[in-house]
Amino acid sequence: MIIDYHMHLRDRPGGEARGRYGADRAEEYVEQARASGVDEIGFTDHVFHFRQSLALWEIEWMRERCTDDLDEYVAAVEEAKGRGLPVKLGLEVDYFPGIERGLAELLAPYPWDYLLGSVHWIDGHAVDSAPDRGIWAEAAVEEVWCRYFAALTELASSGHVDVLAHPDLAKIFGFRPEAIDYPPLDGVALEISTNGRYKPVGELYPDPAFLEAVKAPITLASDAHVPANVGRDFGQAVELARAAGYETVTVFEGRRARQEPLG
């Protein structure tokens, strides 16, 4: 089985600030999945795009983006499911220490299949905005990685998410410490994301050494923001997984995981 468990359904017709979500657009992602040999896809739009999450954020950049309706998003994916399409309902949860309780209250009413956790910010500084801004302007490379992994470990052990997105995002600009100490991560799956190929680092997330060190179950991910990118470069994702000894992928339903043969 081939799954693509990271993509964004959000559409901005005519460049409108507010994103829209619909089952017809979900169907376009499914069509591309079929063409790319992907059996099942999962939508994981960013939690900070939904106005229901506004109270969780302190960063202005995020507060300005809380424009969409979470109910509209969930309804779109549920309608796609109702049409018999192989889609799952997920969400990309941008993690900050201290938001746990508000986050749990926000997410509890919805029938998530899985929640994807990501660390894009460290103490209010962006990890992936630019190589000379955000956290990179604040701290040395070694310290950035150390703090990034500390946040990732906290997220993994929070119980709030099922999968860690782009687990070694800190390599995005190609800055790496001399030696990397991968953190032990229990109770979560790691995604193998082909999106890193299109970032300055030009590689899949995560490094094979990360998979070997952590030995967590895996999902596959394109991080597509448009239908055309669903399943992009998945030959390489499968190759990376197999090289690291994986024979199964993780499939989620109602936040319960099971393993299915990879391929």
In the complex, the smallest distance separating the C-beta of residue 92 from Zn ion, rounded to whole angstroms, is 5
Nearer to Zn ion, 20 or 248 (CB): 20
In the complex, the smallest distance separating the C-beta of residue 203 from Zn ion, rounded to whole angstroms, is 16
Nearer to Zn ion, 167 or 245 (CB): 167
Among 36, 118, 193, 229, indicate the residue that binds Zn ion (CB under 5 A): 118
In the complex, the smallest distance separating the C-beta of residue 166 from Zn ion, rounded to whole angstroms, is 6
What whole-number distance in Å separates Cα of residue 51 and Cα of residue 47?
A: 9
Task: Show the tokens assigned to 52.
Answer: 């229901």
Nearer to Zn ion, 154 or 259 (CB): 154
End-to-end CA distance of the chain: 5
Nearer to Zn ion, 6 or 147 (CB): 6
Considering only the stretches 35-43, 60-68, 115-123, 245-253, report the one whose residues sit in contact with Zn ion under the rule CB under 5 A. Answer: 115-123
Contact between 166 and 223 (Cβ < 8 Å): yes
Q: Is 98 exposed, middle or buried (0-12, 13-18, 19+ CB in 10 A)?
A: exposed
Which stretches within the chain are classed as H helix? 23-35, 60-63, 70-82, 100-107, 141-157, 208-214, 234-243
In the complex, the smallest distance separating the C-beta of residue 129 from Zn ion, rounded to whole angstroms, is 12
- Site membership for Zn ion, residue 168 (CB under 5 A): no
Applying the rule CB under 5 A, the residues between 81 and 110 that interact with Zn ion are 92
Is the peptide bond preceding residue 206 cis, with omega within 30 degrees of 0? Answer: yes
| DSSP-derived pairing of the beta strands 248-253 and 256-261 | antiparallel
Applying the rule CB under 5 A, the residues between 195 and 224 that interact with Zn ion are 223
In the complex, the smallest distance separating the C-beta of residue 118 from Zn ion, rounded to whole angstroms, is 4
The size of the interface with Zn ion (CB under 5 A), counted in residues, is 4
Nearer to Zn ion, 49 or 84 (CB): 49
Q: Per-residue x/- marks for Zn ion, 14-53, CB under 5 A?
A: ----------------------------------------
> 49 — phi, psi (to 5°)?
-80, -10
Nearer to Zn ion, 4 or 92 (CB): 92
In the complex, the smallest distance separating the C-beta of residue 44 from Zn ion, rounded to whole angstroms, is 6
Could you tell me which residues come within 8 angstroms of residue 253 by beta carbon, excluding any fewer than 6 positions away? 88, 113
Of 235, 193, 194, 228, give the one whose Cα is nearest residue 29: 228
SS3 content of the chain, % helix, strand, coil (to 5): 40, 20, 45
List contacts with Zn ion (CB under 5 A): 92, 118, 165, 223
